[in-house]
Structure 1
Amino acid sequence: MTEDTLSDESRAERVMPIGEPPRNVREALRKVLWIVIWLVFLSSPIHDLAAGHHTAGATTGGALGLAAFVAIYLTLVFRNMGKGFTGPVVAVLVIVLCVLAVLLCLTLGSAWLGLFVYLSVACGTAFPLRVAYWTIPLTTAVMLLVGLHGGEREALNLVLLVLLIGFAMTGVRQLVRTTVELRKARATVAQLAANEERLRLARDLHDLLGHSLSLITLKSELAGRMLPDHPDKAAQQVTDIENVSRQALVDVREAVTGYRRPRLSGELAGAQVALTAADVIADLPTEPDLDGVAEESESALAWALREAITNVVRHSGARRCSVELIRRQTLDGPHLELSVEDDGSGGSGNGPGNGLSGLTERLEKVGGALDAGRTRRGFRLVARVPLGGAKGATGRPGGATGDTVGSGA
């Protein structure tokens, strides 16, 4: 998975956040559309008003009452997307909704019993859970009592709906709360990981450069004192300074190379994020067994996994992707095998891509091998590295670019 592949940030930009207020006009319109769809239960009251069964005064009063009911309901629902009202304000608004629902049903008939559905939703979304658990059944009981006035059959038909939709909203609230808590926990873990990484970098830099820089400073002061009277000894000190600085430079370069080397566990976590963001069903190992695997070999497998997942996300059009890590005994000795298989096309071309060639070179440098090609069900990439150290390794793996893997990548 490359840096520009689907990441948490890019995913968050496209997915409407759960439990958070809309961040822009587009998200606000999407949430409004989702809420407006559920106003379908207002079709009966609107049809009743349009049918002309009531006097002009009753029709006008019903229209005004319905408008007030919808306005209060939407205010409660929209406000709960962000910072909700305080408890007393919520209680007053729900009581007003209840009074409007009762008055409209008693004066205009059973066609208005659907308003209690919205009252139940308001109780489930706006009240604390301990309050919602008894106000939802109370709303149902009030609807039944109102229904006895002339719409008992309609009221009985709505009992189950009013109860279920109210308690369903309490479940949705708990799901939203859990999602928000998980998002905060993930951000906290990421921050702690970043802090730990900064501390590790600080320790490594101190260990790498602290002694070398102190020695360079000491020898520089000594050379300065020796220069007037003992120039030959001063020259020797300058030579020592040069040697120490060169070794420090080598140490820093090796450390930076180690920082940049990908790790298989990190690539597996990144692959899970990328596949999930691309709506690909992922089957990945959680804890890879890397006993006996050299760092160079692990790095080569990590590169193979990164490029393979990049191909799956960008070009394959796959719906499923499975990753396996298997230890195999071959004629050349024990090997660790990484298999990435998907049900997509594997790419758009017919020849091997640059990414595939680069991975082959990386694996060959650590004594491994790469097999990739189409199968009956999609595309499969298999990377193998020897266990117990790299065979025939000539140096650190290199040569692969960030190009995608696959036929014609």
Structure 2
Amino acid sequence: MKSDFYTAISQIAAERGIPKEAIIDVMEKALITAYKRTLGNNPPPMEVSVKLDPQTGAARVYAEKQVVDEVYDERFEVELAVARKVQPNVQIGETVVIESTPNDFGRIAAQTAKQVVLQGIKEVEREHIYGEYMDREGELITATVQRLAKGNVILEMGKAEAILPPKEQVESDRYYHGQRLKVYLMEIRKEDRGPRLIASRTHKNLIVRLFEMEVPEIFNGTVEIKSIAREPGLRTKVAVAARQEGIDPVGSCVGMRGIRIQNIVNELNGEKIDVVQWSPDPKDLIANALSPAQVVEVHLNEDDHVALVIVPDKQLSLAIGKEGQNVRLAAKLSGWRIDIKSATALLEEERAAAEVRGYAEAEAMATEVELTNAKVESRKVQPNGTIVYQKASYGPLGNDLIGETVQLRATSQKLYIYYQDRLIASYILIETEGAEKAEEEM
């Protein structure tokens, strides 16, 4: 018949989900500590072990003692005759490990080791939890809200507890006791007080795991999630691609009548999800990423990694989204900075640019004609680096040109200065009144 001790050990093991052997090992270590306390302060170094009978709970202590002729201290010494019953060849002065269970050790052990045993069991339980969840980092876990503490949400996951820190909580979510929800097991930290499980509701990989759970094609690898852009609680964009011909990746994720995607949306408490077709061509990917808006054209600036997207006038607000959310997520999804313009705005800009170009070209042509017909005059550069034209000073031209002769050509607006047939400077012509003042100051 099994003893009460064995029954108690089995019950603790079953309740806490840890092996019976681990509990017995902890208790044996605790009893060693209890025995050493009976030896007084600063006992000599000695080997001590305790064997616990799992059936009866009886504890036997085996301690290392020195073999002597006459025993003065039974705690540390043993007679030669007694020692040779355990180790026949032992000699005086040597040590032998012999049973040394005190008469009242059961009472001492019960009083002294109780707290140590309880603490030891807690440590074993923590280690067991750590071992159980160590390989589950990065998984989707179903948890129950236990309580709220200092902004953290404490989750119950079987025999373990996880923490949902404030930064990993969705702002729009409301957590209450007993609530069941799915979380992403983001990190497992091994701390002095035991393993700490950190969960997340904002991590992008939570979306990945939910899709794997709801979409068999993603779980088995025939459809692949290429990119995710998420603003937790508000909206998520997911770009998917098929690895097998004949499969519609977007349709697989949405499901018949949208049932698959709706299950994910419900789990995320109404967070909107756009599933789009991924493409290796950035233009196509950007156009798809801006869904549900329609795109007319995409122009890429490879150097600045910027995409200019043209949309119909009526689609502009839809493409940008509320507070820029749609274009912001599309930029994260594609990896390109996106500028959006309506077709009319682009047309007006191009017309204005063409007018500016035409005006500039006409002005340049008129200047060229004036220069061709302009009289060429020569001037010597003065010691202060300037030249005088129509009683006005222009410059300075630089110390290296002092004393050199330069050529001048004037149009109705500007004075052009050449040196050795090369244009070196141009100045807006000073009005006559200003020129007279400049001459008076000189």
Shared fold by TM > 0.5?
no
TM class, shorter-length: under 0.3
Using the size of structure 1 for normalisation, the TM-score is 0.23
Q: Which has the higher contact order (CA 8 A, sep 6+)?
A: 1
Using the size of structure 2 for normalisation, the TM-score is 0.22
Give the structure with the higher percent strand.
Answer: 2
Higher gyration radius (CA): 2
